Amino acid sequence: MVLDPELKKQLEEKARLIRQHIIRMINAAQSGHPGGSLSAVEILTALYFQIMRLDPAKPRWAERDRFVLSKGHAAPALYAALAERGFFPADKLLTLRQLGSPLQGHPDMKKVPGIEMSTGSLGQGLSCACGMALAGKLDEASWRVYALLGDGECQEGQIWEAAMAAAHYELDNLIVYLDYNRLQIDGPISTVLNPEPFPDKWRAFGWQVQTVDGHSLTEIVAATEKAQASTAKPNIIICHTVKGKGVSFMENEAGWHGKAPSDEQAVQALAELA
């Protein structure tokens, strides 16, 4: 699919607003994970504003599509997308990680409308997504399950157990996005514990694999449409991204995996995202 120019412009504006929210939230909390939140913005923008079937007024609507943020530390990006989509007021975003706020450091399905699964222990989210997709298959439901993984997260053995199960049960109603920014908290994934080669590994586990520019809304949407049309196999879309995307001093810097910007740094970041 080639996005209509006006729609593409609207989606790009949503992505810009989501990035601004991420900086403001983490700066206000003085805690959080900006790098991997910023790298996932286009994926979440495409999902929440173009791809998924949702009704913010009815967050538990039976026919809704489901989304699982397996890399739960990127919760600021998900919260910002949910707020912009209308699941809760955007002014709540600045309560991130505050005592008593539903917007904790990792998603809580019991406290935040639109959150389908509480995640944060890396590797577990894909298993949950597989369970949802299998339930959908058994019920002959029309809704789909979408999930977002981190590349460093793929060092977890549970990811590959889930990948094997998804192929075994032919979960073609499951579409996974890999935020492939090549960095984790301790440095490059290739030096911490190399999980490469991703395309070959996922194919070997029985998945349909595509590779896209993870900051191209057009490529993400087109790849998703292709995945939706495939049968008998689960789908993964490997999204080449930049950690800290949109903020010059955060881009491709592992040190910004889990560090909050100072007030001065937040001003600079917001100026770049204006």
Closest CA to 274 of 12, 20, 1: 20
List, in order, residues 6 or more apart from 271 with CB less than 8 Å away.
Answer: none
Domain boundaries, the chain: 5-272
List, in order, residues 6 or more apart from 87 with CB less than 8 Å away.
Answer: 56, 59, 112, 113, 114
CATH topology of domain 5-272: Rossmann fold (3.40.50)
pLDDT tens-digit series, residues 179-236: 999 999 999 999 999 999 999 999 999 999 999 999 999 999 999 999 999 999 999 9
pLDDT tens-digit series, residues 259-268: 999 999 999 9
pLDDT tens-digit series, residues 19-55: 999 999 999 999 999 999 999 999 999 999 999 999 9
| Cα angle for residues 259, 264, 265 (degrees, 5° grid) | 40
Place of tokens 């040190």: 255
Predicted pLDDT at 36: 98
Please tell me whether residue 193 adopts helix, strand or coil conformation.
helix
Query: Is 0.95 surpassed by the pTM of this model?
Result: yes
Average pLDDT over residues 108-117: 98
Predicted pLDDT at 1: 65
Predicted pLDDT at 6: 95
Q: Are 242 and 179 in contact (CB under 8 A)?
A: no
Per residue, the 3-state secondary structure of 136-187, as one string, reads HHHCCCCCCEEEEEECHHHHCHHHHHHHHHHHHCCCCCEEEEEEECCEECCE
Predicted pLDDT at 2: 74
Question: In Å, how far from its chain's centre is CA 219?
Answer: 16
Q: Which helix (H) or strand (E) holds 36?
A: helix 34-39
